[in-house]
Amino acid sequence: MERSSGILMHIASLPSKFGIGSIGKDAYRFVDFLKTAGQKYWQILPLGHTSYGDSPYQCFSAFAGNPHFIDFNLLKEEGLLKEEDYNNINFGKEDDKIDYSIIFLERQKVFKIAFDNFEKVRCNEFEIFKEENKFWLEEYSLYMAIKEHFNLKSWQEWDEDIRIRKYSSMKKYKYILKYEIEYWNFIQYKFFQQWEELKVYANKNNVSIIGDIPIYVAEDSSDIWANPKMFKMDKNMKPKVVSGCPPDSFSITGQLWGNPIYDWDAMEKDNYSWWVLRIKESFKLYDVVRIDHFRGFEAYWEVPYGDKTAEDGKWVKGPAMKLINAIKKELGDLNIIAEDLGFLTKEVLKFKEESGYPGMKVLQFAFGEEDSDYLPHNYPVKCVAYTGTHDNDTFKGWMEKTGQSNEVKNAKKYLPLTNEEGYNIGFIRGVWSSVSYLAIAPMQDFLNLGNEARINLPSTLGGNWKWRATEEELSTELAKNIYKITKRYGRI
């Protein structure tokens, strides 16, 4: 396997004048940065339409793109916007933070202007897009239109007739919300159009995109509202059980994610067609797909609906290789990364081996025990090595927070870390110099940013997913320094 490396950088974290990173010129400049830095991969977090809490792992649809990422300037170049439509709007006061409450309100106003202008110049490509994506787009756009009609409430709080999808009510809302439904169709059309052009540019510059798909979908989503029989729901369309993970080093009460659990028996009868379709569509967006919480296919932590913590959950067996074999039968061998972190049993390790997919090694986990599997000398070639992930603190934050503990002392001694080289560069060297075929570090580690730049603290709501880089930080000098370490360890 060819040695290579990449950088983990959320689209939302790109520099931008409009409150949040976009898939416009800011993203193209980052591709140029990666090319200068000798990187072959750009790993991103999920692109989905985020819901309450702003987490890319809790989305309104497993297939829809995030409207926040649509670029205003590209819409202007098409003639759908004028600069005065968006240039003098306050999208947030801080260049290095996202203010979701502001952009949620202000960006939608701009998109409505663009849609009204688009209505005057409709094109055949739009109709083709709607037809090709009908299998998810119809339900999503109807769902979003009804959601706005009910002041953004979860579908569980809608009027009973439409909550349970009564035929006459479905017909009524499709009629009275025709404009709003078409608006959401337009939003997705523009998202996918802009994303496809960016991906083509990245690939032309020898940069491949690693996408990330959450194993679960959100309770407040079009997927569950439209397909309740695929999930463990009761006769009133309420979840019986929800997802999470048991107590661990991240959280003493476990992590209560709250996503409804798949009815794997029902899915098996349908040859896992929904999952096959989800993977197929993901590979239209990405060159490589990382499946989050891959171990959940072998066994998952199931928590009674309504519990306040994940402590009283239990392990339940999943579909394991039956699902993987169904995907491979339909789609062939795919470039998938299995996120195999967390509590790993012999059964999980065997399942991951059988799948044939590379797993992950995270250097931050390496220094708590004497001969950890996360120490670089224990890495197999077929794995993806990370300094940290979106769920970890930054390297600098981890080091400062852990302080004088044995973990930091062990890291300094093992790598070894020195002031002269820079502690963060020494830590990155730990994965870049390993035998792992692919090494990745979050952008924050290259920038040597502390806890203030941490993007997510698991099991917390609020304060997450906000960090943004500034234009000054993504300098040519930094790119050249990254190129040097990448060349030194044979990853160019």
Number of neighbours of residue 312 by Cβ within 10 angstroms: 11
Active site residue 96: no
Question: Looking at 182, 223, 292, 407, which residue is catalytic?
Answer: 292
Active site residue 339: yes
Count of H helices and E strands in the chain?
Answer: 18, 12
Which two structure tokens, joined as six digits, stand for 479?
A: 């790119």
Question: Exposed/middle/buried for 402, CB within 10 Å: 0-12, 13-18, 19+?
Answer: middle
Identify whether the C-beta of residue 182 lies closer than 8 Å to the C-beta of residue 145. no
Identify whether the C-beta of residue 263 lies closer than 8 Å to the C-beta of residue 201. no
Nearest to 365 by CA among 405, 392, 330: 392
Partners of 50 in the β-ladder? 59
Q: What angle do CA 356, 202, 204 make, to 5 degrees?
A: 100
Kind of pairing between the strands at 41-43 and 438-442: unpaired
Mark residue 165 as left, alpha or beta (left: phi above 0; alpha: psi -120 to 50; beta: remaining).
Answer: left
State residue 131 phi and psi, 5-degree precision.
-70, -45
Which two structure tokens, joined as six digits, stand for 58?
A: 């809790």
Active site residue 473: no
Question: Looking at 339, 340, 393, 407, which residue is catalytic?
Answer: 339
How far apart are alpha carbons 211 and 285 in whole angstroms?
A: 8
Question: Looking at 139, 220, 391, 445, which residue is catalytic?
Answer: 391
Identify whether the C-beta of residue 295 lies closer than 8 Å to the C-beta of residue 340. yes
Mark residue 394 as left, alpha or beta (left: phi above 0; alpha: psi -120 to 50; beta: remaining).
Answer: beta
How far apart are alpha carbons 155 and 145 in whole angstroms?
A: 11
| Largest distance between two CA atoms of the chain | 71
How far apart are alpha carbons 94 and 332 in whole angstroms?
A: 46
Nearest to 314 by CA among 302, 305, 298, 297: 302
Q: Give the single-character DSSP code of 326.
A: H
Residues labelled as active-site residues: 292, 339, 391
